Structure 1
Amino acid sequence: MSPAPTAPDTPRPRRERRRRVLLDWSGLPRGLLLAVYALLVAVPLVVVVLTALKTSQQMYADPFGLPPNPSLANFTELLRGGRIGISFVNSVLVTSVSVVTTLVVASWAAFSIARIGGRLGLVLFAGFSLGLAVPAQVAMIPQYVIFDQLGLTNSLLGLILINIAVTCSVAIFILTGFFRTLPGELFEAAEIDGASTWQLYWRIALPLSTPSLAAVAIFLFVMHWNDLLYPLLFISDPDKATLPKALLDFKGEYTTNYPVLFAGVIIASIPMIVAYVLLQRWFVAGITAGAVRG
């Protein structure tokens, strides 16, 4: 008895063949895309640095060329009078206090939501998440009216409080996702040993959440450090202005001193670079923490 004839090989679907081709050639497009992306990031940075080393005449004569006589005069002019120094200190104070306080409050709330669980935890999480759906510009007028009635406008304290109120929702959203991935057996074992809720938070949840806290800290730092909208709305005293608001003084109605302005941009970028370098060991792990339940 002759064996049954085998069915002829059916042609692979066009989508599968296309996927195989893309996988076979994935190395070249990926490297090319990364090179293009690196150029898009590097070129503006190089232009900013070169412009900061030129005079205004040299910049308008050759915007993208090398500075004929590199000079730090723009940095000297920027720091002259001490106004930028005061604004830098104000930014450091507002940003550091806002980030630390937001992390403390958000971690408390996120840990509580994760521990409560059930419908109540879901309702609380949804309530905080609604804050992400409201654009900041929509609430600015009522926020200003409330802070003005409380006497908190034109003060660094008011700026800190509004920063905390605006960014707490996103911090709680990220941290709750991470706390939910922590094994419940850890907390149950600690509770059997007599640990209180505070000890569960301080000795178990926080040490395990270091990568996620670092990622949120960098995110909040960039938001608060670069914030210009709320300082423009709440601060009118030049001595209480933050660094982004102080840099606007170099932008006139008809002319702008771009070399000095770019020098200020470089100075304003240094703290963000330092913060990322210090926290980069936890950043990559933190940005994906809580994305998948364990």
Structure 2
Amino acid sequence: MDKLGKRTMLLVYALIIIVPMLTVIFSTLKTTSEMYANPIGLPETLNIENYIQIFNETSMGTYFKNSVIVTIVSVFFTLFFASLIAYAITRMSPWKGGIVFGLFTIGMMVPAQVNMIPLYSLIYSLDLTNTLSGLMIVNISVTLPVAVFILTGFMKTIPKELFEACTIDGANNWQVYRRIAIPLSLPSLSATAIFLFVMHWNDLLYPLLFITKDEYKTLPLALLEFQGQYMTNYPMLFTGVMIASAPMIIAYIFLQRYFIAGMTAGSVKG
């Protein structure tokens, strides 16, 4: 009975996920009139006109490119700075490391909405509004505390004897970081990278706050164009959602083993 109950719960959970997903996929193959006439039914024909139209009639290629650039650069520099900070915290004395770690932890507690006005004032004063570089700087600064929190927790599980042995052999801090800390932290780095990728790729708040020109819009912000005051073009909106979701789905399929390894790394001490 216990096994049957678990399977039933898993089946219900799977249906909760699969049914809306299939509805979105089928809606991308419908016309607007067909969508409103039969919103949850199968499409009459496999019509890919929405996918062709969204690239021909909108700047979807530009939006996609902007999202790729912002996400990749933001993830790379967030991981780089966070790994340096996490390594430094683990090499500090306990009380100094605790203070630095505590400051970044406090940064996680501040809601994003609280920072909107000061952030906008800062970015505006630096003349970085309507630029991808300004958006990337904000992304890195906002997600850095989360990345430091995750990576510090893992690096603390690395035996300090490894660092000390490498130092005795004549390696400086940069060499210890590059040859010991980073290779041993690859599972945690991979998991953090996937987590950051999803955050940056799906971010709507900061592009909505800092970007107004079409040539700098990212995918989440561009999807708002399909929503009108009196009517929403749901087939085109769902088509954009599918295009925006495809990179995340593909990335997770190929990197899921690293994600699972990163989530479990350090949970069991040898």
Shorter-chain TM-score above 0.5: yes
Q: How has the CA–CA distance of structure 1 residues 151 and 293 changed in structure 2, closer, same or farther, with 3 Å as cutoff?
A: farther
What is the deviation of 1:69? 1.6
Deviates more, 1:25-34 or 1:153-162: 25-34
The amino acid that maps onto 1:99 is V
* 2:258 aligns with one of 277, 282, 292: 282
Verify: 1:271 aligned to 2:230, yes or no. no
Structure 2 counterpart of 1:258: 234
Deviations 1:177-217, CA, capped at 9 Å, x for gaps: 00000011111111111111111110011111111001100
- Within a 5 Å distance, the mapping from 1:1-294 to structure 2 comes to 25-81=1-57, 83-291=59-267
- Cα distance in 1 for partners of 2:203, 2:115 equals 16
The amino acid that maps onto 1:107 is S
What is the deviation of 1:35? 1.1
SS of structure 2 residue aligned to 1:53: coil
RMSD: 1.2
In structure 2, list runs of 5 or more residues that go unmatched.
Answer: none
Deviations 1:213-261, CA, capped at 9 Å, x for gaps: 0110010000000001100100010111001111111111100000011
What is the deviation of 1:31? 1.5
The structure where helix makes up a greater share of residues is 2
Runs of 4+ in 1 over 6 A off after TM superposition: none
Structure 2 counterpart of 1:14: none
The amino acid that maps onto 2:14 is A
Deviates more, 1:114-123 or 1:169-178: 114-123
Deviates more, 1:86-95 or 1:265-274: 265-274
SS of structure 2 residue aligned to 1:139: helix
What is the deviation of 1:82? 5.1
SS of structure 1 residue aligned to 2:83: helix
What is the deviation of 1:81? 3.7
TM value normalised by structure 1: 0.89
- Cα distance in 2 for partners of 1:281, 1:263 equals 29
Deviations 1:88-139, CA, capped at 9 Å, x for gaps: 0000000000000000000000111011141000011000100110000001
For the 8 Å contact 1:181–1:292, the answer to whether it is kept is no
- Cα distance in 2 for partners of 1:83, 1:117 equals 52
Identity of aligned residues (%): 55
- Cα distance in 1 for partners of 2:137, 2:251 equals 22
- Cα distance in 2 for partners of 1:102, 1:292 equals 27
- Cα distance in 2 for partners of 1:79, 1:226 equals 20
For the 8 Å contact 1:159–1:231, the answer to whether it is kept is yes
What is the deviation of 1:33? 1.4
What is the deviation of 1:36? 1.1
For the 8 Å contact 1:114–1:121, the answer to whether it is kept is yes
The amino acid that maps onto 2:174 is W
- Cα distance in 1 for partners of 2:73, 2:266 equals 26
Q: Aligned residues, how many?
A: 270
